[in-house]
Amino acid sequence: MPDDKLQDLRGRIDAIDARLLKLISERADYAIRIGRLKRELEPGHSFYRPARESVHLRELIAANKGPLQDAELTALFREIISVCRALEQEISVAYLGPQGTFTHEAAFKHFGRAIATHDFPTVAEVFRAVESGKPAYGVVPVENSSEGVVTHTLDCFMDSALQIVGEIELPIRHCLLGAGAGLDGLASVYSHQQSFAQCRRWLDENLPGCNQVAVHSNAAAALRAHDEHDAAAIAAAGAAAEYGLNILAEGIEDYSCNATRFLVIGGHDVPPTGADKTSVLVSARNRPGSLAALLRILADRGVSLTRIESRPARIVNWEYVFFLDIEGHCGDEVLGRALAELEAGAGLYKLLGSYPCASA
């Protein structure tokens, strides 16, 4: 009978779940034992090992035969890793808040949900919090695929001794949230300026008469929309439940491939994983062709430059510093020699960190 077959399959799933529970409990027990050993061997050190976790997740992805997609498999195992890591030591993470921002979501994607999170209203305050040592790590946005760089984040690196210890790539799906049931009667839309730019076409076509009010985060926009019945907010779908709002429209971003890159900042360096990225800050000497000469150092050694951004040096008018993202780890022999030459030829050189590339 079909019902007998269904019950049999469900019974097999129940048996698998029982085995999974036993294995996860066994894994958790090993995590506790590892935590005790680390306290004896490395007192005062962070138990978070981004290089090891990155390598482990890539190995799991390589072994994945389906039917789970790589991103689904990664999310599942990241939560297992997160709860087991918390048994060793709770990780504290600062992020650009308040709750419900995409940065908040990025922090959970990278660390899992078994962490202590602390929200701050500005990128600069996230940096200052992590510099104080509590919390141990921070998550900040650095660039969007359609709107470009987040300048405040780059500027903070000029004065900070913090290192980049990881990166996160998060697909961005914007929703229009409101206390009402539809678009009729809306007078204002609140959002972060970057989100307005990413949804420009949709807003022009669907809410041409609405007043667009920029606020410091999309979660702050959701909070404003909660208090004003003729207002809406552009935010993540998760912010609807967080702030008691309805989803009035989904996927309102102009480009379906819209994504934001976030950086994880901390106070230590990260060993090589085999799939790494290095970020440096340089300034060219004030003479013709100096920037081209610096970039030629990388080209001549076959080093791949993946991004370059310029920012005012803030010391002398019309002088600039350049942020470079480079494939590889500073501990790699070829890249290490190239970086040494870059440092010798630059007016200013600062290694911001070598870290694992973003995973699925």
Q: What is the DSSP string of 233-280?
A: EEE-THHHHHHT-EEEEE--SS-TT-EEEEEEEESS-----SSEEEEE
Whether residues 229 and 273 share a domain: the answer is no
Whether residues 14 and 81 share a domain: the answer is yes
Whether residues 39 and 72 share a domain: the answer is yes
User: Looking at residue 14, what is its pLDDT?
Assistant: 97
Residue 9 lies in a domain: yes
Whether residues 215 and 253 share a domain: the answer is yes
Using alpha carbons, select from 327, 338, 328, 332 the residue that is nearest to residue 297. Answer: 338
The range of the structural domain enclosing residue 240 comes to 175-257
Choosing from 257, 282, 301, the residue where a domain stops is 257
Whether residues 337 and 300 share a domain: the answer is yes
Half-sphere exposure of 184 (CA within 13 A, CB side): 1
Identify the weakest region by mean pLDDT among 20-34, 140-154, 160-174: 140-154
Structure tokens at 338: 């190239």
**For tokens 């996160």, what's the residue?**
168
Residue 263 lies in a domain: no
Helix, strand or coil for residue 113? coil
Q: What is the CATH number of the domain that holds 290?
A: 3.30.70.260
Whether residues 78 and 2 share a domain: the answer is yes
Helix, strand or coil for residue 356? strand
Tell me the pLDDT tens digit for each residue of 102-112. 899 999 999 99
At 193, the pLDDT band (50, 70, 90 cuts) reads confident
Q: In degrees, to the nearest 5, what angle opens at C-alpha 207 toward C-alphas 202 and 210?
A: 130
Whether residues 7 and 76 share a domain: the answer is yes
Structure tokens at 200: 């420009």
Residue 112 lies in a domain: no
**Rounded distance between C-alpha atoms, residue 301 and residue 347, angstroms:** 21
Q: What is the CATH number of the domain that holds 1?
A: 1.20.59.10
Whether residues 244 and 295 share a domain: the answer is no
Number of structural domains in the chain = 3
Residue 165 CA from chain centroid, whole number: 11
Structure tokens at 105: 């979501």
Average pLDDT, the chain: 92
Choosing from 58, 74, 89, the residue where a domain stops is 89
Whether residues 9 and 79 share a domain: the answer is yes
Contact of 257 with 189, CB cutoff 8 Å? no
- pLDDT of residue 318 exceeding 70: no
Q: What is the CATH number of the domain that holds 207?
A: 3.40.190.10
- pLDDT of residue 114 exceeding 60: yes
Tell me the pLDDT tens digit for each residue of 261-283. 999 999 999 999 999 999 999 98
Residue ranges in the chain assigned as alpha helix (H): 2-41, 50-63, 70-88, 102-111, 123-131, 151-159, 193-198, 200-206, 218-227, 238-243, 290-300, 333-345
- pLDDT of residue 183 exceeding 80: yes
Plot region of 270 (φ>0 → left; ψ -120 to 50 → alpha; else → beta): beta
Residue 133 lies in a domain: no
Whether residues 3 and 80 share a domain: the answer is yes
Whether residues 239 and 318 share a domain: the answer is no
Residue 72 lies in a domain: yes
β-strand partners of 264: 139, 166
Whether residues 273 and 352 share a domain: the answer is yes
- pLDDT of residue 334 exceeding 60: yes
- pLDDT of residue 131 exceeding 90: yes
Residue 51 lies in a domain: yes
Choosing from 71, 89, 107, the residue where a domain stops is 89
User: Looking at residue 284, what is its pLDDT?
Assistant: 82
Structure tokens at 335: 């890249």
Using alpha carbons, select from 231, 211, 233 the residue that is nearest to residue 222. Answer: 233
Mean pLDDT over residues 213-238, rounded? Answer: 90
Residue 122 lies in a domain: no
Tell me the pLDDT tens digit for each residue of 202-224. 999 999 989 999 998 888 899 89
**Top-ranked range on mean pLDDT: pick from 290-299, 307-316, 323-332:** 323-332
Mean pLDDT over residues 109-118, rounded? Answer: 96
Residue 27 lies in a domain: yes
